[in-house]
Structure 1
Amino acid sequence: MAVAFTREDIEISTRAADHFTRLYYTTYDSPTRVEDLPKFYRPTSTLTWNGNPCQGSEGVKKLIQDMPSTRHEVQSYDCHPISVFVSGSVSHGKVPATKLTSSRSVDDQPRVFFQTFVLVPDPVAPLAKVGEIAKYYIDADAMRFVG
C-alpha cells in the first residue's frame, strides 16, 4: 500500500531537513563534536561510515574521537517525510599555513560525500508547537565518499 504525502507533509519535512542539516554539520565541524554529535543518535541507531558500521551514540563517539577536524560544505539536500539525502564536500584536518603543502597530505583536501539519514520523531522531546520543527533523532545514517 503506497503512502500519499500531502503538500503540508512535504513542507514540514523540508523545514525539518533544513534545520537538521544546518545543525548537524555545524555540530560535526565544531570543537565539541566528540561530546555533541553523539546526541543526534540513540543506542539503537546505526551508522555506516564509508562502509564501516557503528552502533549507537557510543559507536559514533568512538568513530569521531580520533578523526581530524572537519569542514563540511553542504551543496544540496533533498528530503522526504522519512529521509534526508545530503551531498557536499568535507575537508579533514587543519587548514595549511601555506598553499605549498604536499598534495599527499589529507589536511584541507576536500572530498565529495553523499549521506543519507533516516530521522524519526524523538518520543522524549517536548511536543513541538504549531509552526515549530519537531525534534528528531537519527535512526539510520549512511555516509560514503564519492570523490
Structure 2
Amino acid sequence: MSILTKEDIEIATRAADHFTRLYYSAYDSPTRIDDLPKFYRPNSAVSWNGNPSEGAQGVQELIANMPKTTHEVQSFDCHPIPGSQPPSLLITVSGMVTHGGGPSANPPAIKKTIEGHPRVFTQTFMLVPDTAAPPKPGEVAKYYINADAMRFVG
C-alpha cells in the first residue's frame, strides 16, 4: 500500500483546481457540444441527476438537449486515491447552475421548469491518469473522467 505525501496532496489540489476551471468553462461555452466530451472516454460512467449515460458520446447526447448553462462553483474538494502513481483523484464540486437565460428569460406562464432558475448542485468526479497522453517533462499527469455523478440538491 502506498502512502500519500503532503506533496501528493498539494499536486492533487492544484490539478483539481485546474480541472474544475477548465471543465465548467467548457460546460458553459457555446462550443460545449464539442469541448465537453473531450474530458471523457468511451467507457466513462456518467449519471446526471440519476439518469445513467456512458462515455463521451453519452455526454454529447445529454448536453445537446440541454439549454445553455452558467455554473458558479462555490467549493471543491479533492482526494488523491493511493495505489497508482500518479494517483487517481476523487473530486467533489458544489455550486449553483442556471439553465437558460436566467429568471428574466423565463416566460411568466411557465412555473415548473429548471430553465432560468438557479439550482444547487453537487458533482463528483473520479479522474484517472490518461496513459494515452503522457505528460511532457515538467508537466503534471493528464487525466480523464472515468466516472461523473451530478445531482441537484436544491
- TM-score (norm. length: structure 1): 0.90
Cα distance in 1 for residues equivalent to 2:103 and 2:92 = 30
2:85 alignment partner in structure 1 = none
Give the gaps of 5 or more residues in structure 2.
81-88
CA-based RMSD: 1.9
Find the aligned partners of 1:76 and 1:136 in 2 and give their Cα distance: 20
**How many angstroms does 1:4 deviate by?**
2.4
Match of 1:144 in 2: 151
Q: For residues 46-66 of structure 1, give each alpha carbon's deviation from its aligned partner in whole angstroms, at most 9, with x where no partner exists.
A: 100000000110011011101
Confirm or deny: 8 A CA contact 2:43 2:146 kept in the other structure. yes
Q: 1:90 aligns with which of 89, 94, 97?
A: 97
State the Cα distance separating 1:123 from its structure 2 match: 1.1
Aligned length: 145
Q: 1:27 to 1:103 in 2, by over 3 A?
A: same
Q: Which residues of 2 match residues 105-120 of structure 1 at below 5 A?
A: 106-120=114-128
Residues 43, 98 of structure 1: CA spacing in aligned structure 2 closer, same or farther, 3 A cutoff?
closer
- How far does residue 5 in structure 1 lie from its aligned partner after superposition? 1.0
Match of 1:62 in 2: 61
- Matched residue type, 1:13: A
1:15–1:133 contact (8 Å) kept in structure 2: no
* Cα shift at 1:30: 0.4
Q: Aligned in 2, Cα 1:75/1:103: closer, same or farther, shift over 3 Å?
A: farther
Q: Distance between the aligned counterparts of 1:122 and 1:78, measured in 2?
A: 21
Question: For 1:84 and 1:75, how far apart are their aligned partners in 2?
Answer: 14
Distance 1:95 1:64, change over 3 A: same
Shift of 1:127: 1.4
Residue of structure 1 in register with 2:79 after alignment? 80
Aligned partner letter, 1:35: D
Per mean C-alpha deviation after superposition, the further-off stretch among 3-12 and 68-77 is 3-12
Give the 3-state SS of the residue equivalent to 1:64 in structure 2. helix
Identical residues among aligned pairs (%): 62
1:113 alignment partner AA: F
2:13 is aligned to 14
What 5-or-longer segments of structure 1 have no aligned partner? none
Runs of 4+ in 1 over 2 A off after TM superposition: 95-103, 105-108
User: Does structure 2 retain, via aligned residues, the 8 Å contact 1:46–1:139?
Assistant: yes
The aligned amino acid for 1:55 is E
TM-aligned CA distance change 1:58 to 1:129, over 3 Å: same
Q: Measure, in 1, the Cα distance between the counterparts of 2:135 and 2:44.
A: 21
